Amino acid sequence: MEPSLSQSDEAPRGRPVVRLRPKAEARAIRHGFPWVYADELVLDRRTQGLMPGALAVLEDAERRPLALVTVNPASKIVARVLDRDPAAEVDEAWLAARLSRALALRERLFDEPFYRLVHAEADGLPGVIIDRFGGAAVIQPNAAWAEMHLEALAAALRAVTGVTTIIKNGSGRARGLEGLAEETTVLSGGVAGPVPVPMNGAIYMADLTGGQKTGLFYDQRPNHAFAARLARGARVLDVFSHVGGFALAALAGGADHALAVDASAAALDLAGQGAAKMGMADRFATRQGDAFAALEALGAEGARFDLVVCDPPAFAPSKQALEAGLRAYERVARLAAPLVAPGGYLVLCSCSHAADLSAFRNACARGIGRGGRRAQLIHTGFAGSDHPMLPQLAESAYLKSLFFRLDG
């Protein structure tokens, strides 16, 4: 039988105590790993009875305090480290301190307030994503504790940044894993329509209330910039383009023409609005539909482009989906490679944390070879600096972008 916690097992402030199993690795927590998995924690009736998002003191098997954690007995990640101080008070002031530290980094990196302000565990706010769009911000509270503290988090966000509009985007796979319902709502202020976002010389239109995720993907910013250098005078194909990601950056970089392909008509409409605001609508076109079908159709049409970019959603969102995901990435590379003109460039991206860089690169290489092409790998890109990586958590470095030059 598992050892149980008695009613006297309470930390200061009356907090419950949760304890690692004897064989669990406490050293990882001491060295900065932020998660405790369900099979590493003593899950007696008292622990299982804790409300999702409750705060508790984590102890090692010898009953030595390790950290203040938030507990969700319904999640595979049963505990997340909030503070190294087990007596810390998680209130508006605590949240404001974390936000201020995150803001200081972004203000040093960027001249304008358009960036990812909080990147979850890497910024000390587990499961919390906050993207900033000038005077507006979108919060994704993807962990139960953040949902419980959302009002204080929003208040701290207003105080620290001065934003007047705050939107909660409660959608996505991560919330489902935490047992949280999907809900998107305006917490304060409001937006009259899509928000223009300047980035890499392009203008993107972000739908903060109805768009995918927070409305825009900031993570590809440096990869957009690198692709734009390859796009001067080029014909560009951007597949899985969302609101024009690589296509609009390529136009800003001097591309002759860009074609954006996406399954979402709404996203392509926003991409068209962005191209119009840039004064480049005449050099921009869209094709709505399934990306694989579009790649096959363009191949059948004999279409050729100087730069082809494929930035799909996460095909391997979990270890269980890894094999199928790698096959999908290989298929993308196989269909895209023949569309690249001799001496042109192919950019293949993955946002699947379950597919590490080596596995993704090998899948892409196989696909390019099966597409009848040979390639040089000229650059490997990752997420921008507003998406910092927690060194102890490989999952925080999820984005990979491979830039190939294809032979004749």
Q: Looking at the annotation, which residues are catalytic?
A: 351
Looking up tokens 């993308």, which residue turns up? 332
Residue 73 to residue 312: CA distance in whole angstroms:
33
- The rounded distance, in Å, linking the Cα atoms of 403 and 223 is 9
Are the C-beta atoms of residues 18 and 79 closer than 8 Å to each other?
Answer: yes
Residues 337, 372: Cα–Cα separation, whole Å: 8
Tell how strand 202-206 and strand 114-119 pair up: unpaired
CA 324 to chain centroid, in Å, comes to: 21
Buried b (16+ CB within 10 A) or exposed e, 38-77: eebbbbbebbeebebbbbbbbbbeeeebbbbbbbbbebeb
- By CB atoms closer than 10 A (0-12, 13-18, 19+), residue 274 is buried
Q: What is the dihedral of CA 17, 22, 23, 25, to 10 degrees?
A: 40
CA–CA distance, 386 with 342 (Å, rounded to integer): 35
Distance CA 230, CA 253 (A): 8
Within 10 A of 165 (CB to CB), how many other CB atoms are there?
Answer: 19
